A and B are shown apart, each in its own frame.
Chain A
């Protein structure tokens, strides 16, 4: 059977709407099956949990090897093979991408979510996500200006075929560590949270299956949340945007059916109502995503189809997650103490890290231009 008609369908507007809807529905269901509230899928949070499980940070409540992340990479690899799209390539400013990954994660964890979770928080009624989305859009708009004026990290080049398998192999290794619950010393690692968001997870096979499906379709459709906003602002192209609207709408619809919607600002799960830093955190993340060429989900998918530069960005995000928790940069959720709500948000260190990150990203944007 020819795969071309299926491939053409996935590359069409209907295809991008399909993947958006699939992510939205699966995310809401994963939450029902045990993933944290309003966090059916969050690439930033899940990479942070993996960093914790490996002991790169010791925040005891966010440590788990998330099978969804593994699924995204392996699902993407499977699709790339099936459709002859697997191409080992690298060489486009890898260290710059690593640094961008660190700051992208820093910003996302000040807000407490990647662009996918921003939409999923909205679909769960969390209005604090509005300031995050506004910041994300602003960061992407700034990044678009750099693109217009010639910002470019340079070309990537074909490399050894086997180099493209390193990231999928690492994902498979993580899966083995998870399945066999490996312990390298009596106290760990591998660490698995016994309380907090890290302890909340859907059954392994369901999470892995959802990740594989999303990774597979996302590879074919090039689904990217950052790209959707970037393309609307830069070239007026709404192709990708139709996907993220489908994601939000479908997640909201399923959340309504499952009773997972709670509108408002206060008391939202794993979120804070410090709007300024929600916005600035996601502004940093959005800018870093544009400069690196994709949102965290898209970068994972690219790393599965042989893109070594995207793999470096993913590694940067993982290290960024470790820094965020080791140096107390991540935002703290709102909490209620003695009946009074205390607004969370980043520490002064987190605020400083966001500002430094914005300066570094602006410097990268201003100085790294290429003429052809």
Chain B
């Protein structure tokens, strides 16, 4: 599942990530375009025990969550 959270201010990326986590679909890819969203989504994923891979492309970050 891919979530595009670019341009959204917090807590929207976190809420979208939380809703996506509830579906249980993996791997979960979340696209954000600022450090605040990156850190907040990363913190949420860590607290839920996900394995996180982060890729930076241009001005965007792609977080891939898996178990």
Contacts and interface: CB of A to CB of B under 8 A. Distances in A.
Partners in one complex: yes
Interface string A231-256: 10011010100000000000000000
Interface in B18-67: 18, 33-36, 39, 43-44, 47, 59
Given A235-B14, A237-B47, A155 B39 contact: no
Contacts of B9: 92, 156, 293-294, 309
A152 B10 CA distance: 10
B28 to A, nearest CB: 14
Contacts of A237: 43-44, 47
Nearest to A231: B11
Nearest to B16: A372
A91 to B, nearest CB: 8
Interface residues of B, number: 22
A227 interface: yes
A230 B11 contact: yes
A11 B39 contact: yes
A87 B34 contact: yes
A91 B18 CA distance: 25
Contacts of A158: 59
Given A235-B18, A235-B44, A372-B16, A85 B11 contact: no
The A interface, classified by DSSP as helix, strand, loop or mixed, is: mixed
A276 B18 CA distance: 36
A273 to B, nearest CB: 34
Contacts of A309: 9
A156 B39 contact: no
Nearest to A372: B16
Contacts of B11: 147, 227, 230-231, 234-235
Given A89-B7, A147-B11, A152-B8, A222 B36 contact: yes
Nearest to B38: A11
B7 A157 contact: yes
Contacts of A85: 34-35
Contacts of B12: 147, 152
Interface string A334-372: 000000000000000000000000000000000000001
Contacts of A157: 7
Nearest to A85: B35
A148 B11 CA distance: 10
B52 to A, nearest CB: 15
Interface of B: 3-4, 6-12, 14-16, 18, 33-36, 39, 43-44, 47, 59
21 contacts: A11-B35, A11-B39, A85-B35, A87-B34, A92-B7, A147-B12, A147-B15, A152-B8, A152-B12, A158-B59, A222-B10, A227-B11, A230-B11, A231-B11, A235-B11, A235-B14, A235-B18, A237-B43, A237-B47, A309-B9, A372-B3
**Closest 3 A/B residue pairs (Cβ):** A155-B7, A293-B9, A156-B7
